[in-house]
Structure 1
Amino acid sequence: MPTAPQTTDELYQALQENDRRPYGRTRTVTAEELVDAAEQFAEPLPLVHALLELQEAYTYGSEPRKSPVVFARLLTLFDEQPDVFDERLRHTLFWRFKWVAHALRQLPEIPLASLRQWLTEMRDRYEKAGFGLQPYYGQAYQLAAHVGEDTTLAYELWAGRTRTRLSDCEACEICVRARYHLAAGDDERALRVWEPVLAGKESCQEEPARSLSYALLPLLRTGRTDRARELHLAGYRGCRRNPSMSPEVGRHLEFCALTGNEARGLELLAENRNLFDEVDSPLDQFDFLTAVEVLLQRVERLGHGDLPAAGYAGRTWTVAMLRAEVRRRADDLAARFDARNGTTAHTDRRRARLDRAPLLDTLELTLRTRSLDEVAPAAAPAPRTTAAVPEALPELIARARALEEQGHPDAPACWARLRTLVAGPDYTHPDDPAVGPLARLRADLLLDEGNRAGERERYADAVALHEQAAALYDEAGTPDHAALARACAVLARAEIPGPDGDGPEAKASALTAAHAAIVRLHEETPGPAPYVEGRLLRLRATVLGLRLQATGSEEHVAPVLAEADLLHAFATRHDLVGQVSGAMLLHASTHALAGDLPAAVQRIDALLEQLRAHGPAWHLPRTLGLRGRLQLGLRDAQAAYADLAEGLRLAADWPADAVDTSRLHGDLAEACMHLGRPDEALRHLTRSAEVSLRHGSRFDAFYVYSHAARLSLDLGRIEDCIALLDSLLAEPDVVAGELDDRLVAQLRLTRARALHAGEDLKAATAEFVALAAESAGWDDDPGSHAMIAGETAVLLAESGEFGRAREAADQAIAAHARAPRYEQLSNCLRELARLQARQQGADGLSDALAFLADAGRIADEARDAAYEASGRSLDTALAYEHGRVHAYAGAYEEALAALEKALALLGDAGPQDDHAGEWAECVRLAGVVEGIYLERPAPALARLDAAVTRLTALGHTEEAEPLTSLAAQLRDEN
Structure 2
Amino acid sequence: MPTAPQSTDELYQALRENDRRPYGRTRTVTAEELVEAAERFEDPAALVHALLELQEAYNYGSEPRKSPVVFARLLTLFDEQPDVFDERLRHMLFWRFKWVAHALRQIPEIPLTSLRQWLAQMRERYETAGLGLQPYYQQAYQLAAHVGEDTTLAYELWAGRGRTRLSDCEACEICEHARHHLTTGDAERALRTWEPVLAGKASCQEEPARSISYALLPLVQAGRTEQARELHLAGYRGCRRNPSMAQETGRHLEFCALTGNEARGLELLAENRGLFDEVDSPLDLLGFLTAVEVLLQRVEFLGHGDLPAAGYPGRTWTVAALRAEVRARADDLAARFDSRNGTTAHTDRRRARLDRAPLLDTLELTLRTRGLDDVAPAVAPAVAPAVAQAAAPAVGTAAEVPDSLPELIVRARTLDEQGHPDARACWTRLRDLVDADDYTHPEDPAVGPLARLRADLLAEEANRAGEKDEFADAAALHEEAAALYDAAGRPADAAVARGCALLATAQIAPEDAAAAGTRDADTAEATTAELTAAHASLVALHERTSGMAPFQEARLLRLRATALGLRLQTSRNEEHAEPLRAEVAALHAFATRHGLDGQISGALLLRCSTFALTGDLPAAVAEIDALLDRLRTQGPAWHLPRTLGLRGRLQFGLGDAEAAHADLTESLRLAADWPAGTVDTARLHGDLAEAAMRLGRPEEALRQLTRSAELALRHGSRTDAFCAYSGAAQLCLELGRVEDCIALLDSVMAEPDIAAGEVDDRLTAQLRLTRARALRAGEDLKAATAEFVALAAESAGWDDDPASHVMIAAEAAVLLGESGEFGRARQAMDQALAAHDKAPSYEQLSNCLRELARLQAQQQGPDGLADALAFLDDAGRIADEARAAGHRAQGRSLDTALAYEHGRVHAHAGEYEAALAALEKALALLGEPAQDDDRAGEWAECVRLAAIVEGHYLERAADALTRLDAAVSQLTSSGHTEEAEPLTSLAARLRDAT
TM-score surpassing 0.5?
A: yes
The Cα of 1:841 is off from its aligned counterpart by 2.0
Q: 1:574 aligns with which of 583, 594, 598?
A: 594
Matched, 1:504 2:524: yes
Paired residues for 1:572-651 under 5 Å: 572-651=592-671
Which residue of structure 1 aligns with residue 395 of structure 2? none
Matched, 1:757 2:777: yes
Contact 1:384 1:652 in 2 (8 A): no
| Letter of the 2:295 counterpart | L
Matched, 1:895 2:895: no
CA distance in 2, matches of 1:769, 1:470: 53
Render the CA deviation track for 1:544-563: whole Å, top value 9, x for unaligned: 00001111111111111221
Contact 1:385 1:655 in 2 (8 A): no
CA distance in 2, matches of 1:254, 1:383: 37
| Letter of the 2:593 counterpart | R
The Cα of 1:527 is off from its aligned counterpart by 4.0
CA distance in 2, matches of 1:476, 1:544: 31
Contact 1:604 1:623 in 2 (8 A): yes
CA distance in 1, matches of 2:13, 2:527: 62
The Cα of 1:109 is off from its aligned counterpart by 0.9
Structure 2 CA distance for partners of 1:642 and 1:908, relative to 1, 3 Å: farther
- Unmatched 5+ residue regions in structure 2? 388-397
Q: 1:937 aligns with which of 951, 954, 957?
A: 957
CA distance in 1, matches of 2:302, 2:747: 23
| Letter of the 1:240 counterpart | R
Contact 2:920 2:946 in 1 (8 A): yes
Matched, 1:30 2:30: yes
Q: How high is the TM-score relative to the length of structure 1? A: 0.98
CA distance in 1, matches of 2:634, 2:974: 62
Which residue of structure 1 aligns with residue 78 of structure 2? 78
Contact 1:270 1:309 in 2 (8 A): yes
Structure 2 CA distance for partners of 1:424 and 1:261, relative to 1, 3 Å: same
Contact 1:147 1:341 in 2 (8 A): yes
CA distance in 2, matches of 1:319, 1:828: 50
Structure 2 CA distance for partners of 1:893 and 1:411, relative to 1, 3 Å: same
| Letter of the 1:863 counterpart | R
Which residue of structure 1 aligns with residue 44 of structure 2? 44
Contact 1:911 1:955 in 2 (8 A): yes
Which residue of structure 1 aligns with residue 575 of structure 2? 555
CA distance in 1, matches of 2:494, 2:60: 71
Higher mean C-alpha deviation, range 376-385 or range 135-144 = 376-385
| Letter of the 1:42 counterpart | E
Structure 2 CA distance for partners of 1:837 and 1:384, relative to 1, 3 Å: farther
Which residue of structure 1 aligns with residue 308 of structure 2? 308
The Cα of 1:687 is off from its aligned counterpart by 0.8
Which residue of structure 2 aligns with residue 538 of structure 1? 558
SS in 2 for 1:929: helix
Which residue of structure 2 aligns with residue 428 of structure 1? 440
CA distance in 2, matches of 1:640, 1:876: 44
CA distance in 2, matches of 1:21, 1:379: 45
CA distance in 2, matches of 1:300, 1:702: 30
Matched, 1:495 2:507: yes
Contact 2:385 2:425 in 1 (8 A): no
The Cα of 1:374 is off from its aligned counterpart by 0.8
Render the CA deviation track for 1:502-528: whole Å, top value 9, x for unaligned: 711111111111111111222222242
CA distance in 1, matches of 2:665, 2:932: 38
Which residue of structure 1 aligns with residue 21 of structure 2? 21
Contact 2:451 2:485 in 1 (8 A): yes
Render the CA deviation track for 1:319-371: whole Å, top value 9, x for unaligned: 00000010001111111111111111101100100000111111111111111
Which residue of structure 1 aligns with residue 717 of structure 2? 697
CA distance in 2, matches of 1:911, 1:409: 64
SS in 2 for 1:565: helix
Structure 2 CA distance for partners of 1:633 and 1:259, relative to 1, 3 Å: same
Contact 1:384 1:655 in 2 (8 A): no
CA distance in 1, matches of 2:631, 2:227: 48
Contact 2:384 2:401 in 1 (8 A): no
Higher mean C-alpha deviation, range 634-643 or range 949-958 = 949-958
Which residue of structure 1 aligns with residue 488 of structure 2? 476
Contact 1:384 1:654 in 2 (8 A): no
Which residue of structure 1 aligns with residue 9 of structure 2? 9
Q: How high is the TM-score relative to the length of structure 2? A: 0.96
Which residue of structure 2 aligns with residue 391 of structure 1? 403
The Cα of 1:385 is off from its aligned counterpart by 7.6
Contact 1:892 1:929 in 2 (8 A): yes
CA distance in 2, matches of 1:470, 1:91: 84
CA distance in 2, matches of 1:689, 1:515: 34
Contact 2:690 2:701 in 1 (8 A): yes
Contact 2:386 2:425 in 1 (8 A): no
CA distance in 1, matches of 2:978, 2:555: 66
Paired residues for 1:772-787 under 5 Å: 772-787=792-807
The Cα of 1:725 is off from its aligned counterpart by 1.2
Render the CA deviation track for 1:895-922: whole Å, top value 9, x for unaligned: 2332233233333334333333222222
Which residue of structure 2 aligns with residue 973 of structure 1? 993
Render the CA deviation track for 1:559-590: whole Å, top value 9, x for unaligned: 11221111112212222111111111111112
Which residue of structure 1 aligns with residue 393 of structure 2? none
Paired residues for 1:746-825 under 5 Å: 746-825=766-845
CA distance in 2, matches of 1:911, 1:620: 54
Matched, 1:168 2:188: no
Higher mean C-alpha deviation, range 268-277 or range 723-732 = 723-732
CA distance in 2, matches of 1:930, 1:379: 76
Paired residues for 1:183-332 under 5 Å: 183-332=183-332
Structure 2 CA distance for partners of 1:121 and 1:171, relative to 1, 3 Å: same
CA distance in 1, matches of 2:910, 2:379: 66
SS in 2 for 1:6: coil
Render the CA deviation track for 1:805-860: whole Å, top value 9, x for unaligned: 11111111111111111111111001011111111222222211111110111111
Structure 2 CA distance for partners of 1:717 and 1:379, relative to 1, 3 Å: farther
Which residue of structure 2 aligns with residue 733 of structure 1? 753
Higher mean C-alpha deviation, range 92-101 or range 560-569 = 560-569
Q: For this pair of structures, how many residues does the alignment match?
A: 974
Higher mean C-alpha deviation, range 557-566 or range 477-486 = 477-486
CA distance in 2, matches of 1:857, 1:58: 50
CA distance in 2, matches of 1:203, 1:910: 48
| Letter of the 1:282 counterpart | P
Matched, 1:853 2:865: no
Runs of 4+ in 1 over 6 A off after TM superposition: 380-385, 498-502
Higher mean C-alpha deviation, range 227-236 or range 441-450 = 441-450
CA distance in 2, matches of 1:77, 1:889: 44
CA distance in 2, matches of 1:190, 1:521: 79
Q: 1:453 aligns with which of 429, 451, 465?
A: 465
Contact 1:305 1:318 in 2 (8 A): yes
Contact 1:373 1:379 in 2 (8 A): no
The Cα of 1:697 is off from its aligned counterpart by 1.4
Render the CA deviation track for 1:414-440: whole Å, top value 9, x for unaligned: 111112222333333333332233332
The Cα of 1:127 is off from its aligned counterpart by 0.5
Structure 2 CA distance for partners of 1:560 and 1:297, relative to 1, 3 Å: same
SS in 1 for 2:370: coil
Matched, 1:522 2:542: yes
Which residue of structure 2 aligns with residue 53 of structure 1? 53
Contact 1:385 1:654 in 2 (8 A): no
CA distance in 2, matches of 1:655, 1:781: 42
Which residue of structure 2 aligns with residue 359 of structure 1? 359
The Cα of 1:784 is off from its aligned counterpart by 1.3
Matched, 1:862 2:874: no
Which residue of structure 2 aligns with residue 833 of structure 1? 853
CA distance in 2, matches of 1:702, 1:452: 20
SS in 1 for 2:126: helix
Identity %: 79
The Cα of 1:135 is off from its aligned counterpart by 0.4
CA distance in 2, matches of 1:15, 1:476: 78
Render the CA deviation track for 1:302-332: whole Å, top value 9, x for unaligned: 0000111111111111100000010001111
